[in-house]
Chains A and B, each alone.
Chain A
Amino acid sequence: MSANEPKSVVVNETYQKIISPLRFIALASIALLGVSTAADVIKRLSTGWPIGGVMQLSECLMVVMVFLGIAYAQANRRHIRVTIALSRMKPRKVVILDILSCAIQITVLVFLAWKTLEEGIWSCSILEYRVGDIRLPIYWARMLIPIGTIALIGQLLIDIWIDIDRLRGRAPLDLPDVRAIQEIV
């Protein structure tokens, strides 16, 4: 780390390390989803019998990858937004609007984390499971939603901090996602 890097950027780098297990588990869940689903078909085609529980597991893996991935996607500025107006504004104005945008997101995400946590606790209390050819516990997946949401809130807080440093001239004024084109659907 160079000495002239603002504290916010340093904290951001540390934060990426802290949440990297979430990202790793999310990546693994994508791979597992592919392998287990493909294995299920291959087994069914060769033996006539499916592997028990692949469908229920797949559903849980979707929750894992999405909610453990949302903070990572924000770190890469990949939550899609329309930048047509921003790209024609002065950089300072863009940064100010970005702070506003992060603040609005944090507000709504706090409610999301709170309510999904409530539901997660309820789910744990009845040891909720999903029925199919086997019974798969799902309460753990419910609990990942508030965890992932809180990780995203943390990322947005740091983004606001970095934005403030941008305004103070301690970081480059250009926002990474305003003029760059990223792959979306």
Chain B
Amino acid sequence: QERCEAQEKTYRMRYDFYNVERCEPAIIDKWALNEVAQRSKGRINVKYYWMGALHKTGEHWAACRDGLSEITFINFGYYMPQTPISRGVEWSWKKGASDPEIHMRMMNKLYDEFPEWQQEYEKDNLHVLWFTNWSSAFFNFKKPYPTVDSIKGLRIRAYGVASDALKAVGAVPMPIAAPEIYTSLERGVVDALLMVPVGFSLSSHMDTVVPYVVDGGYGVCGPSAVVMNKKLWDSLPADLKQIFVDIKKELVDGKWVEVLQAFENDCVDQMVKRGAKFQKWDDAEIEKARNIVQPMEVDRWIQEMEKLGFKDAKKFQQRAEELLAQSGPSKFVPPHVYYQQKYGDK
């Protein structure tokens, strides 16, 4: 009888997102959760809150933990003290990690292999539905800066691990608060941005001040987890849980990149109309940056983790590398490639 009741119950779920509705991970999550709602035949009802309408950046972890929202988006970069192990997959210029689809697949597989990582979320009453990211992280410049040496001394807005990496290659990382980015660029307090996906450039009009969108081979932007309040997850009947599991599998198997690609191509088209240019650093330059930053960045993380008592930190990185190598090929067409194909050498 109890089971019967659970099956009749309608679950109202608030999805809490800190950024705009039209950006890479939001488009993907919205596809996924709409699909969940549809397949549940109305037993799951998702209400979306964009732009931090429900909770502000920095509050989402605690809010979902305490049941103030049911599903939320955790960009590790904003919850570093809570997510030390998760940060092990946040890399700068890491070999083989720059493709967003491959990176996403790797995270979703790696998570199942390390109970310590799972604990990171579960001890705070959070259940990971799937891992995702903000697609490729690009530089946004006012004019082309084609080499590592050319960005020396350049003031670049960045946060988290990107700050350390930029410092290592000689740039000046500036932690500018999000609402002030645009005017800081306009007025020259910062010269450039790093860790900006094309969807964000477009929606925030960044491309009108920094029109050169340059793939410096940095890697993916904002690896993140989409999580559900664990108490709620545990209370869901098995068939509803299965819907989430199925959706995750479909994302990993190709839906993720399909939704992402359609969105980013559309963004590139609109940005081209406003005068944006898409470029990529030569492989030699990317290699040069990599040699400065890696393996120092990974080693530092391993050291830190071992200090925190995560003994398998080294194994974690090794497995991550193996999974990166196994997770191809990717169907993802980077913006600059799409740009070249469609608009040629104009």
Contacts and interface: CB of A to CB of B under 8 A. Distances in A.
Direct contact of A and B (CB under 8 A): yes
Nearest to B65: A122
Given A127-B81, A129-B81, A132-B163, A55 B153 contact: no
Contacts of A126: 81-82
A20 B258 CA distance: 62
A50 B174 contact: yes
Interface in A110-136: 119, 126-129, 131-133
Interface residues of B, number: 15
B77 A131 contact: yes
Interface in A88-130: 119, 126-129
B156 to A, nearest CB: 12
Contacts of B167: 133
B173 interface: yes
B172 A48 contact: yes
B144 interface: no
A119 B62 contact: yes
Contact of A55 (B62, B80, B82, B175): B175
B160 A131 contact: yes
B159 interface: yes
B81 A132 contact: no
A132 B175 contact: yes
Interface in A33-70: 48-50, 55-56
B180 to A, nearest CB: 11
B80 A131 contact: yes
B175 A129 contact: no
A133 B174 CA distance: 8
A128 B163 contact: no
Contact of A48 (B153, B159, B175): B153
A55 B159 CA distance: 12
Interface string B139-169: 0000000000000010000011001000100
Contacts of B80: 129, 131
A55 B163 CA distance: 14
Contact of A133 (B62, B81, B173): B173
Interface of B: 62, 77, 80-82, 153, 159-160, 163, 167, 172-175, 177
27 contacts: A48-B153, A48-B172, A49-B172, A50-B172, A50-B174, A55-B175, A55-B177, A56-B175, A119-B62, A126-B81, A126-B82, A127-B81, A128-B81, A128-B82, A129-B80, A129-B81, A131-B77, A131-B80, A131-B159, A131-B160, A132-B159, A132-B163, A132-B175, A133-B163, A133-B167, A133-B173, A133-B175
In order of increasing CB-CB distance, the 9 nearest A-B pairs are A128-B81, A132-B175, A131-B80, A55-B175, A126-B81, A133-B163, A129-B81, A131-B160, A133-B173
